[in-house]
């Protein structure tokens, strides 16, 4: 089957085997990246569903999750951002809102995956967001037609058989060399988590650890994932240095938290400003990345004078972000990762075994009163 194009528009691509057995494109035309996003995102939500028992959703961009979450409560910022009012949402739509809200700037034009069939509520919600497509194990009557109208009829709708199990091995060919390896079948369960010393994980921390491990499994390595209340709030992906992953994930988590600050939530922007532009201004202000030009542009845009957030107020608000679970796909090589994690509000760290400085890492966790759990499972993904 021919694809729209490969990694780039000048590259041709086609499916040579497998798609007709368990994947069906119900509407639209997929590129190679669409397929890679969809298949990786589906595995993430399916495994999260099995591990936690909760409906799961993921928002993928460039073969890594911008956000992943299980169904749960929606806070006021989410309800305001996504125009939900106070009625609440069912589990499928709620899981996706929580996944998309983690990093909505990155999720712009995402590939969506949900662990359960798409219902009318989710289809109606997706009509209001910019995304490229969705993969799900079924669609309620009429929802495919609703989704097919997105992107001027180019929205990708993919159905997957939830009972499909992949072959025992997988093959990749790069520059004329074919490499075969075992498919990563190791189940991610609570039994993998081995608390170190007097560390102990609560039920909610265990759920966050499982979601973080599964998210890391399908994120381009190196990666660090920060999870809070069943929702990723920071994903540091594809960095060559693990400490860079930790800082990137922490910065994203802090920006997510700063978006909950009253002065950012109530930023007096024009009511007719498109949602994504509003979000982009709020995120830039929350992250503290506005340039001098952008600051002037924002000042001209405001419908009334805004109150600048003082640095001391920003610092005080940031201290309110606590209770994060940090998952690393590989072991932490040095204690600088623990020191940085503590500054971002991490209370639990999950890492694979194998570090030469494992005693130093454990000591750093004790210094910061961080619970440490180790696993026997590395989760590199490329």
Residues ≥6 apart with Cβ < 8 Å to 323: 228, 229, 345, 347
Angle at 230 between CA 237 and CA 39, to 5 degrees: 50
- Whether 61 is a known active-site residue: answer yes
CB-CB contact of 186 with 377 (8 Å) = yes
Q: How far apart are CA 158 and CA 145, in angstroms?
A: 13
What is the phi/psi pair of residue 188, to 5°? -100, 110
Q: Residues 267, 269, 273, 278: what is their CA dihedral angle, to the nearest 10 degrees?
A: -30
- Whether 62 is a known active-site residue: answer yes
Strands (E), 150-241: 156-160, 169-174, 177-182, 194-195, 223-227, 232-237
Is 76 exposed, middle or buried (CB count within 10 Å of its CB: 0-12, 13-18, 19+)? Answer: exposed
Q: How far apart are CA 288 and CA 253, in angstroms?
A: 13
Catalytic pick from 22, 62, 358, 368? Answer: 62
Catalytic pick from 150, 222, 261, 337? Answer: 222
Catalytic pick from 27, 54, 61, 381? Answer: 61
- Whether 382 is a known active-site residue: answer yes
CB-CB contact of 318 with 342 (8 Å) = no
CB-CB contact of 351 with 209 (8 Å) = no
User: End-to-end distance of the chain based on CA atoms, in angstroms?
Assistant: 24
Structure-token match 């499994």, residue found: 217
Q: How far apart are CA 186 and CA 213, in angstroms?
A: 12
CA-CA distances (angstroms) from residue 134 to 33, 127, 192, 261? 13, 12, 31, 32
- Whether 280 is a known active-site residue: answer no
Strand partners, 118: 139
Question: Any idea which residues carry the catalytic annotation?
Answer: 61-62, 222, 382
């Amino acid at each position: 089957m021919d694809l729209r194009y490969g990694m780039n528009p000048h590259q041709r691509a086609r499916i040579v085997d497998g798609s007709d057995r368990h994947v069906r494109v119900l509407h639209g035309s997929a590129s190679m990246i669409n397929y890679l996003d969809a298949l990786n995102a589906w595995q993430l939500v399916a495994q999260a569903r099995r591990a936690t028992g909760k409906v799961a959703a993921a928002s993928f961009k460039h073969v890594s999750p911008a956000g992943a979450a299980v169904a749960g409560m929606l806070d006021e910022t989410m309800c305001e951002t996504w125009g939900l009012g106070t009625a609440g949402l069912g589990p499928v739509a709620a899981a996706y809102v929580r996944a998309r809200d983690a990093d909505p700037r990155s999720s712009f034009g995402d590939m969506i995956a949900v662990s359960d069939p798409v219902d009318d509520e989710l289809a109606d919600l997706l009509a209001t967001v910019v995304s490229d497509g969705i993969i799900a194990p079924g669609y309620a009557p009429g929802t495919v037609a609703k989704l097919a109208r997105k992107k001027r009829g180019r929205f990708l709708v993919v159905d997957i058989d939830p009972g499909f199990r992949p072959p025992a091995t997988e093959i990749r060919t790069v520059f004329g060399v074919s490499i075969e390896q075992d498919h990563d079948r190791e189940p991610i369960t609570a039994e993998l988590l081995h608390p170190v010393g007097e560390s102990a994980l609560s039920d909610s921390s265990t759920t966050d650890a499982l979601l973080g491990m599964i998210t890391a499994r399908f994120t381009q390595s190196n990666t660090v994932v920060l999870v809070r209340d069943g929702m990723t709030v920071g994903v540091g992906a594809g960095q060559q240095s693990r400490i860079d992953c930790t800082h990137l994930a922490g910065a994203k988590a802090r920006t997510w938290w700063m978006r909950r600050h009253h002065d950012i939530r109530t930023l007096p922007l024009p009511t007719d400003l498109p949602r994504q532009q509003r979000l982009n201004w709020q995120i830039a202000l929350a992250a503290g990345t506005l340039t001098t030009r952008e600051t002037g542009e924002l000042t001209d845009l405001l419908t009334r004078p805004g109150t600048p957030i003082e640095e001391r107020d920003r610092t005080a608000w940031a201290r309110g972000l606590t209770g994060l679970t940090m998952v690393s796909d590989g072991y932490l090589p040095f204690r600088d990762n623990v020191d940085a994690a503590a500054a971002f509000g991490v209370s639990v760290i999950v890492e694979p075994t194998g570090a030469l400085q494992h005693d130093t890492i454990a000591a750093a966790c004790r210094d910061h009163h961080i619970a440490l759990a180790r696993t026997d499972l590395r989760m590199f993904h490329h």
